[in-house]
Amino acid sequence: ITPLPFQSVTGRKAFTEADLWGSDAHVLHVGLGHSADLLVIAPCTANTLSKLAHGLADNLLTVTALAAQCPILIAPAMDVGIYSNPATQENVRLLSERKVYFAGPVEGRMASGLTGLGRLVEPAELLGNIRLVLGRAGPLAGRKVVVTAGGTEEPLDPVRVLTNRSSGKQGYAITQAAIDAGATAVLVTAPTCLMPPVGARVIEVHTAQEMLESVLQECPQADALVMAAAVADFRPKRAAQNKLKRRDGIPTIELEAAPDILQAVLKLGTQRPRLVTGFAAESQDLLENAGAKLESKKLDLLVANDISTSDAGFGVDTNRVTILTANAPAESLPLLNKTEVAEILIARIAARLENP
């Protein structure tokens, strides 16, 4: 790869070996190392890894790494035998001890045709690791945030479930925003097609009952709970043991109430997280219905979701929400990306944890 693609994409100069010996040579490596918030070495070869472990500085990259004041994140990429070699493993251990961060490597097929541990992480995972490191001193550092996401699945028989249109996008975005703010994030998720944010502890559940149990288990040590999941209100009273057969005719499905997780959290008393946020998906009388939910569920924050339009709510990437709090005026946000909604919500949560 030539420097040109980097320059074109970033709009910044891409430095090469030639610059180390150029006219600015005596300050370049120090300048780069001092001005960065994070030094990411991706891909990192076994040779560079070894130089970094032993303080060698014979090229622009290694001399910059030695001068760097910022954290270093390494994404190794090498053949399986090279990565597993005791010399490489010892270098990884040495660097980890010095608080150098690692992303990967992962298992997979190598250029050599071999399969094993040594592949470079995928870009999305690398980006997730970068966010994790950059966020670690954020306003939620030292705080535990539990987020629920997705639509629960209530079984009818071994192959069929009763569920809803929730994609999980808003809950996953909130988890990512919490990690960006430095929180220890726990994501209790119903099945979705999404990749969980790097750094989140993920608890996979299916039913409202399973979600309830996980949330109650995580709550006592949590500072904040965000109930973004679309939890079933009703579930089939009985799940058939065997697949319901067409030849047996159309079944009548009797429903019963599913557990109300927020009500159960309310009963935790002193074990309840300091800040509990609920969501309200409403298709009519948004503020009236949401205000009543805030009150009845004794929530600290409520994100009222207008699902009456096709560009907000379930399945789409955008949301139009109003944030309600017990003793402050409602904050109506315009149509935003779910990522932007998540960042605003996490900023409000961080502010309220700071100044209750």
Site string for ligand CTP, 287-326 (x = CB under 6 A): ------x---------------------------------
- Strand duo 255-257 + 234-236: pairing: antiparallel
Are 216 and 268 within 8 A, CB to CB? Answer: yes
Question: Would you call 26 exposed, middle or buried from its count of C-beta atoms within 10 A (0-12, 13-18, 19+)?
Answer: exposed
- Say how far apart CA 287 and CA 282 lie, in whole Å: 9
Q: Which residue lies nearer to ligand CTP by CB, 198 or 232?
A: 232
What is the spatial distance between Cα 273 and Cα 253, in angstroms, rounded to a whole number?
37
Task: Respond yes or no: is residue 164 known to be catalytic.
Answer: yes
In terms of CB distance, is 49 or 281 closer to ligand CTP?
281
CA 163, CA 65: separation in Å to the nearest integer?
A: 51
Which helix H or strand E contains 339, and what residues bound it? helix 338-354
Residue from 229, 324, 341, 353 in contact with ligand CTP (CB under 6 A): 229
Contact call for residue 103 and ligand CTP (CB under 6 A): no
Written as six digits, the tokens of 200 are: 């989140």
Q: Using the rule CB under 6 A, which residue among 227, 307, 323, 342 binds ligand CTP?
A: 227
Q: Which of 162, 186, 279, 339 binds ligand CTP (CB under 6 A)?
A: 279
Shortest CB 208 distance to ligand CTP, Å: 5
Q: Which of 47, 164, 319, 327 is catalytic?
A: 164
CB of residue 210 to ligand CTP, shortest distance in Å: 12
Secondary structure of residue 257 in the 3-state scheme:
strand
Shortest distance, position 203 Cβ to ligand CTP, whole Å? 15
Cβ neighbors of 318 (< 8 A, separation 6 or more) are: 311, 312, 335, 336, 337, 338
Question: Residue 147 CB, nearest distance to ligand CTP (Å)?
Answer: 11
Between 80 and 280, CB nearer to ligand CTP: 280
- Options 162, 258, 275, 286; binder of ligand CTP; rule CB under 6 A: 258
In terms of CB distance, is 44 or 218 closer to ligand CTP? 218
E strand or H helix at 108 = strand 106-109
Active site residues: 164
